[in-house]
Chains A and B, each alone.
Chain A
């Protein structure tokens, strides 16, 4: 609690011949956080193990297969029980089968789309009785195909064409809602015909997909439809094959992916080591309490051929952080993870979040009904999504505290009475608005000052006592000065306002020394930070008032009776559902914000790396 696990820095050296054994044992131990070596004149980084190439090649192939066969990641419990060679050959075979199927699928789909394009063109021509082979270029004959204004345009067209020549032929049909025509003219009249056509809003259609067909359009259309059906069936069959393939080999592929990823991690581990021609050196961190046990096991597998040096963390070291909290507060490490790890020597604020987060949440949501419903929802969600267990544990606790505050406020779905029976309450949110406002700000003063005390301790650890006094205690004196000034101004205590002013001036000078000009710029922030806690009251109040509005408007419908009762019930359900969602979101975010912004800014530096031992899964 408050402090992360104690860490020891470890250096492991040994000859290259036992490197693989050491890596294997480290991977099993899952205890060493490896610090990557960067190349320098003394030592290069290590070379990956021989198997790395083959492993990554096979792994890429397996992942490609997983993607191509549309396999979703899940726990299959499947064990490959095979070595790399078997996996490799099995993968190759599977790959061939899958890719031949995929190729076939692609080809079929291409044919289908060609077929569809040809069918579209034939559809236009199907009522025009002209052999398709005549729609090819001749020396003496030109032809046009396309849409033209409307039916009467065809007659005008004929009229105008007949003025130039009598050797032409117009065939027309309605395709869709538009007038389609095929016009044949002598090649020498092509230009003239084209200009006449343009006057009639002619838009040409290029029939490129049916150029090699013969016979009339409707017969061809029937033929193509038959082909399309066959292609479709073929496509279905291939799909089925692929689905079968994916179902059959899903377990194998996922297990192989996992197995090979692990092997590859081991094989590529030397890239993080320092190495010379004949030896390797691993730097890293191990929690101090595990130190002797893990060194013992390493020495045993390496038959005492390695040398392990260890020492406790020094002040300037960048130590990876593993948070240490009792089980009940563990879930709240989620918030620290989200925000960033505190450094090794800072206080870990998880426990404080555990204390205050549910309370702030409860003050804002504070309703017996809302608390109970959200508790049940999160309970169900926790069962459904065991992976997000930590998150839901936080919300369950927060909902429970909301029920407690609901009892305190005497509120049930925004109602203060149930069936003429007044719920007992210590404080009514709707009526004692100002009391709650002052309480909220009081909570703010306490919370911010707890933050300052933590900051004070952090500063002592990192920069010494005097700096801590200048940088953190000054804020407390500043608050005292403001409070004294306010009290004298309102004539609540009989002292000279000078005393308050002296406090203020002292605080400003200390801040200037402790944090420089930056501290001065931030002077007003202490006020805004404390005022910010007014949201504890404000968000709660808006939630209650929304609930009251929902209740009142549904009551009016209930009084009308009959059909309106149903409307009233609907309003109740929809209104409260929306209000619960808003309330949960608001309470969660604002409670979190009060911690991240108002509380953390008083002490948190952060920026450490999270402790991630080699071999452990995320």
Chain B
């Protein structure tokens, strides 16, 4: 494996793409999750809706994953 600085930067870039988007998703899910659990304590039937609302921000990580893969691919091509 060529361990020059550009390889490192590419790895760093894709790592950041995943890591930061995961943190963002976590912050968003934290609040929604707390509210959803509160709602479920009142009304158990809300489980389905609560779950869906809670995982909506997960999209952010998926975008992060796509960007990370793109970065890795670009590096391969370049």
Contacts and interface: CB of A to CB of B under 8 A. Distances in A.
Contacts of B69: 437
Contacts, number: 35
B48 A534 contact: no
A339 B59 contact: no
Given A340-B45, A437-B69, A534-B65, A601 B52 contact: yes
B58 interface: yes
Interface string A524-546: 00001001101100100000000
Interface string A385-410: 00000000000000000000000000
A253 to B, nearest CB: 29
B58 to A, nearest CB: 7
B5 to A, nearest CB: 25
A532 B48 contact: no
Contact of B66 (A339, A531, A535, A596): A531
A532 B59 CA distance: 7
Contacts of B52: 596-597, 601
A251 interface: no
B12 to A, nearest CB: 19
Q: Which 5 A-B residue pairings sit nearest by Cβ, starting from the closest?
A: A339-B48, A528-B59, A531-B62, A340-B48, A597-B52
A532 B66 contact: no
A532 B45 contact: no
Interface of A: 338-340, 437, 528, 531-532, 534-535, 538, 593, 596-597, 600-601, 606
Interface string B35-50: 0000000000101100
B30 to A, nearest CB: 17
A121 B52 CA distance: 62
Contact of A596 (B48, B63, B65): B48
B51 interface: yes
A532 B47 contact: no
Contact of A338 (B47, B55, B65): B47
Given A339-B47, A340-B45, A340-B47, A593 B55 contact: yes
Nearest to A596: B51
Contacts of A535: 62
B51 to A, nearest CB: 6
Interface in B10-64: 45, 47-48, 51-52, 55, 58-59, 62-63
Nearest to A593: B55
A379 to B, nearest CB: 28
B62 to A, nearest CB: 5
Most A CB within 10 A of own CB, among B47, B52, B62: B62
Nearest to B66: A531
